[in-house]
Amino acid sequence: MIAILSRRPGLAALLLGAAAATGFAPFNLWPVALTALALWLMLVCAAPSVRAALWRGWLFGWAHLTLANMWIAQAFTYQDAMPHWLGAPAVALLCMYLAIYPMMAAGLAWRWGRRHGVAGAPDLRFVLIAGAAWIVTEWLRGWALTGYPWPPLATIWVPVLGVAWSAAWVGTYALSGLTVMVAGALAMALTGKWRPAAVVATVVAALALSGVDIPVTAPTTDPAAPRLRVVQPNLDQEQRPRPDYAETNLRALLANSGTPGLAPRLILWPEGALRYLIEDGYPPQYYAAGDPLVTRRRIAAVLGPRDIVLTGGNAVMFKPDGTIAAVTNSIFAIDAKGVILSRYDKAHLVPWGEYLPWRPLLSMIGISRLVPGAFDFAPGPGPRTLPLPGFGSAGMLVCYEVIFSGEVVDRAHRPAFLFNPSNDSWYARFGPEQHLAMARLRAIEEGLPIIRATPTGISAIVDANGRITAQVDWGKTGAAEAPLPAAHPPTWFAVGGNWIALGLALLLAVLGVAIGRRAR
């Protein structure tokens, strides 16, 4: 097998990277992904030099991440200031950078995991070092240059919750490294190294089986217990330029918000749901689209006395001369009296989407951000927990803030659940599917329910075990309603965060080096 792969190593690395991408949603072909990873590890281990190993790692990562992120290309069709044809090439260019991280993992595995001067199949030392290197480099990808970990390798396990549950102990990045080790065990088995393959498989299986200890709370049957209603109006970005979009969208949201009942309801609307400004105190000229008090009263009219709406919208801050100083991507909590109870401002903004990096330079050469608008968004202060009378406290995560493992909760004020309004209508269907998978991993890691509200799907209520209890599928109009799921006690990962993942990487690296010295 190694000889066959080594005949055309570059082409083999590209094809294996593409095959590994089928492990992500919506395909969820995790056996294919594991097999591709196993063959890639064999290819890296057989490289004649560290330069060749790095090249094979980069080619694998480029194909793997380009296909997984190609849903981004559709966003270019909504921005006339950018050439629409640029979508696919832009994703490929982005992934030329992202592929550096798998490249580094391959180089580290070859340099520290391979027996020097011996070109052979992966052994236990190589597999341990490869797992450690993947943990560290994937964590770096989620942190460097504001971070972009989409999609972490661990998300291939979301359909197999018995394995995904181990993220509650070690986190997503560590689970990605363990996935590489599973692939390494398969590579060893394919080359006749059954004993070390069995060791790795046993350790990873023990972690996976640890998921059975995570408590499962049955949903309440109390008709007066608080309920969630997630509204999906199914109005996509193509309708935004229309002058009646703001009104059409508000009417769709109100129409699908249901009617008050015995139980208090927390009604959840998507990111950017309100196109009207709803805060008081702005200069009058900014209220041309509608009186904020009138808008809030319209919302309050569909609420019962104990109901609350959480909705995406925008807040504006002004300079002393009345001109705009900053705009925020926000979540507002509005009660049955039309009062704004609290506001959260998105902190982790999307480069090129919510702000244009190096704006003075790039704007001079005609480059714009993908989301049309005259102003860049200003970041908020970071994870926040907002009190919601009758529903406990809620952590807030706007859109892709949910993809950053270990960065989604205010540790000093642990919430009862997380709310993640998003606008995935910019993207091809693969994007929303993968976004939901990553949100489910955050629920498992933190032991907290997550509620996602999007304009066109997929909107869902996810319990603290990562299970979907109610959803509105992609491209559908309607609402998902269910009782508020209970939170679990803080998980190991909720306490230790990514220090656990980095500690596991260190442990694997030390074991790998020790095994190598013993073999010598």
DSSP characters for 475-508? T--EEEEEEPPPPPSPPHHHHHTHHHHHHHHHHH
Report the C-alpha gap between 22 and 295 in whole angstroms: 45
Minimal CA–CA distance to 267: which of 306, 240, 313?
A: 306
- The pLDDT, as a whole number, for residue 356 is 57
Report the C-alpha gap between 505 and 205 in whole angstroms: 18
CB atoms within 10 A of CB 319: 9
Angle at which helix 172-190 crosses helix 498-519, to 10 degrees, equals 30
- The pLDDT, as a whole number, for residue 322 is 80
Alpha carbon distances (Å) from 377 to 310, 353, 354, 418, 484: 20, 9, 6, 22, 32
DSSP characters for 296-324? HHHHHTT--TT-EEEEEEEEEEE-TTSSE
Report the C-alpha gap between 194 and 494 in whole angstroms: 36
pLDDT in tens, the chain (520 residues): 666 767 899 999 999 999 999 999 999 999 999 999 999 999 999 999 999 999 999 999 999 999 999 988 876 666 555 566 677 888 999 999 999 999 999 999 999 988 764 556 888 999 999 999 999 999 999 999 889 999 999 999 999 888 898 899 999 999 999 999 999 999 998 888 888 788 777 777 776 666 555 666 667 677 778 999 999 999 876 555 677 888 988 999 999 999 998 899 999 999 989 989 999 989 888 887 789 999 999 999 999 999 999 999 999 988 888 888 889 999 999 999 999 999 999 998 887 666 655 455 545 444 554 555 556 788 899 899 999 999 999 999 999 899 999 999 999 999 999 999 999 887 778 889 999 999 999 999 999 999 999 999 899 999 999 999 999 999 999 999 999 999 999 999 999 999 999 999 999 999 998 887 765 5
- The pLDDT, as a whole number, for residue 362 is 47
Minimal CA–CA distance to 75: which of 314, 317, 351, 301?
A: 351
Report the C-alpha gap between 126 and 50 in whole angstroms: 14
Q: Kindly report the CA angle at 492 between 487 and 498, in degrees rounded to 5? A: 115
CB atoms within 10 A of CB 172: 31
Residue 311 is encoded by which pair of tokens? Answer: 């909705």
Backbone phi, then psi, for 231, in 5-degree steps? -100, 130
DSSP-assigned letter for residue 218: P
The answer to whether the CB of 473 falls within 8 A of the CB of 457 is yes
Length of the chain equals: 520
Minimal CA–CA distance to 303: which of 341, 349, 334?
A: 334
Report the C-alpha gap between 388 and 401 in whole angstroms: 21
- The pLDDT, as a whole number, for residue 48 is 92
| Residue 228 host element (H or E) | strand 227-232
Backbone phi, then psi, for 450, in 5-degree steps? -130, 135
Cross-strand bridge partners of residue 335: 308
